[in-house]
Amino acid sequence: MKYKEQLLSKLLFSLREVKRKNGVLIKKLGKARHNKREYFEQFVHSRKKKSKAAHPSSYPFEAHPASQKTVSDTPLIIGKDRLAVYTCVFGNYDDVEEPIIKGRFCDYYIVTDNTVSSKSKWKQIEPKTYPEGFDSWHPAIKNRYFKMHPDVLFPDHQYSLYVDGNIKLITDMYPFLVEMKSRRSVFGLFIHPVWNCVWDMTDILIEQDLVDRDGALSQLNRYSSEGFPKQWGLFECSFIMREHHHTESKETMDIWWNEYLHGEKRDQICFPYALWKNGMQFTDVCSFGKNWRKSARLKEKAHNRPHSKVT
């Protein structure tokens, strides 16, 4: 069975993609106003391109060929293999954002200490068991536990998509899974739009007092002594697609959780290390693009409070 996206989901995607492209174009045209001829030529060119922009590809992902070290040969069975889409919100850090479209092959779950309306598209779930000391953990650590352990939450699903609480889902999320499986990857994420090196990002986090300077430098020095290279690459960990029962996925998540729990509480610092430590390369991960905020399928909402240091 071949996957076909719902018509309403495709329409929403197309409309938002056109709006995004036109917004970029308007900025470019504004810069050319000082030259009327150049402005006119760009305007005419934009009108010619508009008809093409009205029918964008259903899968506008940036191509990054996999290195084939980490390969999933498990076939995706459309209709049988459902996608568990989930978010975790603790301590009222985010308001619960309702998805606009519910995908036919997606199930939507939330783990939270907030009240969830009975009319919500999110189904509130609780794991059968909690780790020792869970109740005393900081809300951010509670979030990260479930963020890094989808296999605990979804024993009957093969695939899961974690999204941060400030991401509003506009369309069906299943196309992301189809794309990841077409690349034979077990992970799918967006590349970080600013940095490609954990050392560079950590410098900024130290400046903003979001991590402990001595602790962060000690952690990175350990990574360096083990051979983890600078400029290895960096992903945004706000949107994570996984084949979560795959051995590579479970082993990487175990390393990630251990590093996060015993190191600095910034999961993007230790995620590249966890991938590398488990023998993976940057190109083993399916890239959905360089910035999830520019995806027509997603929309950013504000957090209820700013980031702060977690200890």
Among 16-25, 27-36, 177-186, 206-215, which is the least confidently predicted range? 27-36
73 and 42 within one domain: no
Does residue 260 register a pLDDT over 90? yes
151 and 11 within one domain: no
Give the C-alpha separation, 40 to 142, whole Å.
Answer: 55
Q: Are 240 and 147 in contact (CB under 8 A)?
A: yes
Choice between 135 and 43, residue whose per-residue pLDDT is larger: 135
Q: What is the mean pLDDT of the chain?
A: 85
96 and 207 within one domain: yes
Give the C-alpha separation, 285 to 225, whole Å.
Answer: 24
Q: What is the pLDDT of residue 4?
A: 85
Angle between helices 7-31 and 36-53 in degrees, nearest 10 = 170
105 and 47 within one domain: no
45 and 67 within one domain: no
Give the C-alpha separation, 267 to 147, whole Å.
Answer: 10
DSSP structure class, residue 68: S
In a domain, 2, yes or no: no
DSSP structure class, residue 294: G
Q: What is the pLDDT of residue 278?
A: 96
167 and 272 within one domain: yes
Strand partners, 107: 84
Tokens 């007092």 found at: 209
Q: What is the pLDDT of residue 41?
A: 47
Choice between 304 and 43, residue whose per-residue pLDDT is larger: 304
Tokens 């919500």 found at: 120
Does residue 223 register a pLDDT over 90? yes
| Mean pLDDT within 136-164 | 96
CATH number at residue 284: 3.90.550.10
| Mean pLDDT within 230-253 | 97
| Mean pLDDT within 49-59 | 36
| Mean pLDDT within 151-161 | 96
Q: What are phi and psi of 180, to 5 degrees?
A: -60, -45
Strand partners, 300: 167
Structural domain range at position 254: 61-311
Does residue 58 register a pLDDT over 90? no
Query: Could you tell me the two tokens for 122?
Result: 């999110």
Q: What is the pLDDT of residue 304?
A: 74
The burial class, CB within 10 Å (0-12 / 13-18 / 19+), for 94 is buried
Give Cα separations from 130 to 127, 136, 146, 148 (angstroms): 7, 12, 10, 14
In a domain, 19, yes or no: yes
In a domain, 114, yes or no: yes
For every residue of 25-91, which 3-state class applies, written as one string?
HHHHHHHCCCCHHHHHHHHHHHHHHHHHHCCCCCCCCCCCCCCCCCCCCCCCCCCCCCEEEEEEECC
Q: What is the pLDDT of residue 62?
A: 47
| Mean pLDDT within 274-286 | 96
Strand partners, 89: 112
Share of the chain above pLDDT 90, in %: 65
Give the C-alpha separation, 14 to 56, whole Å.
Answer: 6
74 and 36 within one domain: no
In a domain, 1, yes or no: no
DSSP structure class, residue 89: E
Q: Which of 114, 94, 142 is nearest to 305 (CA)?
A: 94
84 and 44 within one domain: no
278 and 252 within one domain: yes
Q: Are 186 and 281 in contact (CB under 8 A)?
A: no
Tokens 């997603």 found at: 298
Domain count, the chain: 2
**pTM > 0.75:** yes
Sign of CA dihedral 130, 251, 241, 139: positive
pLDDT 10s digits, 103-143: 999 999 999 988 889 999 999 998 888 999 999 999 999 99
Instruction: Find all residues with CB under 8 Å of 76, minimum gap 6, and list them.
Output: 177, 178, 181
Q: What is the pLDDT of residue 69?
A: 53
Q: What are phi and psi of 114, to 5 degrees?
A: -85, 165
Q: Are 303 and 93 in contact (CB under 8 A)?
A: yes
